[in-house]
Amino acid sequence: MTHMEERIVLQQGKALLADPRLNKGLAFSAAERDAFGLHGLLPQNIDTLDRQVDVAMKFLDSLATPFAQHVRLRAIQDSNETLFYAILERDLEKYLPVIYTPTIGEACRKFSEIWLMPRGLFLSWPERDRMDEILADPALHDVRVIVVTDGERVLGLGDQGVGGMGIPIGKLSLYTACAGIAPHQTLPIMLDVGTNNEELLASSDYIGWKHQRVQPAEYDAFIEQFVRAVHKRWPQILLHWEDFAAKNAAPILERYRQQLCVYNDDIQGTAAVTVGTILAANFASNARLSDHTFVLLGGGSAGVGIANLLLLMMKAEGTPEEEALSRFYIVEKEGLLTTRSPSLDAGQRRFARADWKGGVGDLAEVVHAVHPTVLIGACGVGGMFTEDIVRDMAAHCKRPIILPLSNPTSHAEAMPRDLFAWTDGRVLVSTGSPFPPIKHQGHLRRVDITNNAYIFPGVGLGVLACGAKHVTDGMIMAAARGLAAISPARTNPEGNLLPPLAEMHEAAIVVAEATARQARDEGVCEAFEDDELRQRIDRFVWSPEYQAYKKG
C-alpha cells in the first residue's frame, strides 16, 4: 500500500492508540480524531511524521548515553512502529549501533529492569503444553520471519536467560530497517528453558523462569516440539536461530535445515559477511582466496562456520580440498586445534592439524610459524591481537587482512588505530563493533564493520521473494559474493572494504537478488525470470509512512 490509500481500521479510542502498528500519535488528522473517538485523548496539535522524527531525534541527542537512547527508541517502537522505523530510515548509520551492537549487549544484561511492554513470544519450559495455543494467535497469521534464541550465548556475554530476547528484537528491527520486511511479518521468540547464570537466578528482578537450564534430553525434546509447532503454524516460515551455545547451534542447524527453511546467523551470517569482507580485501591486495593462509582465533560455531564457508569458496575457485584445508589454522584458548586435541566436535575435527610439530600452538607461536595473510578473531576476548603478534604477521605480508570480529566493543581482539600503527597503515581491517574514524596520513578513514546486518536482512528478503524452501550453502556463498560486488575497494584499492552503514538498504537488495537467483539455480524455489526478480522483492518492501484510516 502507498501512503495515499486508506486503511480500514476496527479499533478506536485508547485501543487504537495502544496498538504500535496503528498508532500515529499526534499525526492523526482531525477527521480521524472524529471518526475514532480520539478527542480528549490527544493534545490539540496535529503533527506530521517528519516533524515527529525531528522531535524524537532532538530528544535522543539530549540523552547522555547510547543505552539511554536504546531504552527511548525501544519505548518508541512499542508505542509507534512507523515512527521508530522512520527515525532509523532518517539516520540508520547513527542509530544502528544503538539498537544493535554494541549497545544491545547492555540492554540484554538489563533486560529485566527495562522490560515494560510485551513484544514477541516467550515460550517457557513450564508452559510447553500450551505452545500450539500460544502460536495460534490470529494476530500472527502473516508472520514470515522468526528470530528465536534461548539466550545461552548472547554476543560475548554468555548466558543471559530471557535477557537474550533483546537480540531477536534487535535483529528483526534490522530485517525491517535494512531490507524493508514489514514489522507485522516478523516475530521474535524467546525459548525460556532456564538459565545457568547464578546472578540472574539470585536476582529478585529477573523476569524469566528461575531454574537451571533443563537437561539435554529435555532440551532436545523442547526444540523438536517448537520446530514442529512452528512448521505446522507457518509452513513457509524463515526460522532464524540466534545466540545458541556452540554445543547446540550447529547440531540444530544440521538437524532441521532439510525439514524447513532455517538459518543460523552466528554460523552462516557471520561466515558470509566475513568471507564477503575478505573477498573485498582481495580487490585491494590483488589476491585470490587460495593465495591466503588463514589463522582463526576461536573455534566455536562462528570460527568454524567462517572456515567452512572459506573452504567451500576455495573449492569453488578450483582449489582441491586437501590443499585448501592446508591453509587453515584454528587456535583455541588451549592452543592450536590438532588431531591430538581432546573433545573436538565434528566441525573442529575437519580443520584439526595432523602436521603440527611445535608446542601447544598458542596464537603467537602459530603466527610466527605459518606467516598468515588473514587473521580472524572470533574468540570473545579483548586484546588478543597484541603488538608483537601483529608486527610479526605484517613483517611477512604486504597487505595483512586482520578482522577482530568479537563484540561488544570491549571484547574486540584489537583496536583499529593500533592495527594501523603496528602495520604502518598497510592493514586491511574490519571489525565486529563500531569504532570512530582513524586519522591516517592526514586523512580520516572510516573503520569498516563486518556486521551481519550486511547479510541476514538481504538473505531473508531474498528467501521471501523467491519462496525458497531451504537456505543452502550455495545461497550463503552467493550472499557473500553479492556483498563483495558492492565493495568500494572493487574500484579503488585504497577505498573501504564495505559500503557505509547508511547504504544498508541498497546492500540488502543486492544480497537478496544474489540469494534468490542462487535458490532458483539450485531448484529450491519456484522458477522465475531475472527481469521479474526486482518486482518480487519490491512486494515485500515496506516503508515507514502513515496511511489514512477509514473506520471499519
From 259, 281, 314, the end of a domain falls on 259
Contacts of 280 (CB under 8 A, 6+ apart): 483, 484, 487, 489, 490, 497, 498
Could you give the CA distance from residue 208 to residue 201 in angstroms, rounded to a whole number? Answer: 9
Q: What integer pLDDT is reported at residue 441 of this predicted model?
A: 74
Beta-strand relationship, 294-297 and 328-332: parallel
From 416, 432, 450, the end of a domain falls on 450
**Tens digit of each residue's pLDDT (9 = 90 or more) over 175-187:** 999 999 999 999 9
Residue 503 has pLDDT above 90, yes or no: yes
The answer on 478 and 388 residing in a single domain is no
Find residue 263's DSSP bridge partners.
240
Q: Which residue range(s) make up the domain with 514?
A: 454-538
CATH number for the domain spanning 377: value is: 3.40.50.720
CATH number for the domain spanning 81: value is: 3.40.50.10380
The answer on 366 and 250 residing in a single domain is no
Could you give the CA distance from residue 413 to residue 100 in angstroms, rounded to a whole number? Answer: 20
Q: What integer pLDDT is reported at residue 4 of this predicted model?
A: 54
**Tens digit of each residue's pLDDT (9 = 90 or more) over 527-540:** 999 999 999 999 99
Residue 417 has pLDDT above 90, yes or no: yes
**Tens digit of each residue's pLDDT (9 = 90 or more) over 289-321:** 999 999 999 998 889 999 999 999 999 999 999
The answer on 122 and 92 residing in a single domain is yes
**Tens digit of each residue's pLDDT (9 = 90 or more) over 56-89:** 999 999 999 999 999 999 999 999 999 999 999 9
The separation between CA 222 and the C-alpha centre of its own chain, rounded to angstroms, equals 24
Q: How confident is the model at residue 408 (pLDDT cuts 50, 70, 90)?
A: confident
Surface-to-core class of residue 273, CB atoms within 10 Å of its CB (0-12 exposed, 13-18 middle, 19+ buried)? buried
Mean local confidence (pLDDT), 484-495? 93
Q: What is the DSSP string of 392-405?
A: HHHTT-SS-EEEE-
Residue 1 has pLDDT above 70, yes or no: no
Give the Cβ contact number of residue 336 at 10 Å.
Answer: 25
The answer on 278 and 252 residing in a single domain is no
Could you tell me if residue 546 is inside a domain? no
Could you tell me if residue 545 is inside a domain? no
Could you tell me if residue 551 is inside a domain? no
The answer on 313 and 382 residing in a single domain is yes
Q: What integer pLDDT is reported at residue 530 of this predicted model?
A: 93
The answer on 460 and 445 residing in a single domain is no
Residue 371 has pLDDT above 70, yes or no: yes
Cβ-contact 12, 29 below 8 angstroms: no
Q: 347: phi > 0 → left, psi -120 to 50 → alpha, else beta; which? A: alpha
CATH number for the domain spanning 15: value is: 1.20.1370.30
- Residues tagged in the binding site annotation: 153, 242-243, 266, 407, 451
Q: What is the DSSP string of 197-219?
A: -HHHHH-TT--S--SPPPPHHHH
CB-based contacts of 445-451 (< 8 A; 24+ apart in sequence): 445/496, 446/496, 446/500, 447/416, 448/277, 448/496, 448/497, 448/498, 449/498, 449/501, 450/273, 450/274, 450/277, 450/403, 450/405, 450/498, 451/96, 451/101, 451/273, 451/501
- The residue among 197 and 284 whose pLDDT is bigger is 197
The answer on 192 and 119 residing in a single domain is yes
Could you tell me if residue 89 is inside a domain? yes
Q: Give the cell for residue 104.
A: 544491545
The answer on 64 and 13 residing in a single domain is no
Could you give the CA distance from residue 165 to residue 168 in angstroms, rounded to a whole number? Answer: 6
Q: What integer pLDDT is reported at residue 285 of this predicted model?
A: 87
Could you tell me if residue 92 is inside a domain? yes
Could you tell me if residue 375 is inside a domain? yes
From 204, 226, 259, the end of a domain falls on 259
Q: Helices marked H in 234-296 — which ranges? A: 246-256, 270-285
The answer on 435 and 495 residing in a single domain is no
Mean local confidence (pLDDT), 122-147? 97
Query: What percentage of the chain reaches a pLDDT higher than 90?
Result: 91
Q: How confident is the model at residue 209 (pLDDT cuts 50, 70, 90)?
A: very high
Q: What integer pLDDT is reported at residue 30 of this predicted model?
A: 97
Could you tell me if residue 17 is inside a domain? yes
The answer on 97 and 237 residing in a single domain is yes
Could you give the CA distance from residue 474 to residue 237 in angstroms, rounded to a whole number? Answer: 20
Could you tell me if residue 549 is inside a domain? no
Residue 2 has pLDDT above 50, yes or no: no
> Comparing C-alpha atoms, which of 327, 320, 316, 323 is closest to residue 480?
316
The answer on 434 and 475 residing in a single domain is no
Give the Cβ contact number of residue 450 at 10 Å.
Answer: 27
Cβ-contact 404, 378 below 8 angstroms: no
Could you give the CA distance from residue 74 to residue 187 in angstroms, rounded to a whole number? Answer: 15
Cβ-contact 165, 111 below 8 angstroms: yes
**Tens digit of each residue's pLDDT (9 = 90 or more) over 110-119:** 999 999 999 9
Please count the structural domains in the chain: 4
Q: How confident is the model at residue 156 (pLDDT cuts 50, 70, 90)?
A: confident
The answer on 43 and 57 residing in a single domain is no
Contacts of 229 (CB under 8 A, 6+ apart): 131, 132, 135
Question: Cα angle at 110 between 122 and 230, to 5 degrees?
Answer: 20
Catalytic residue numbers read 100, 171
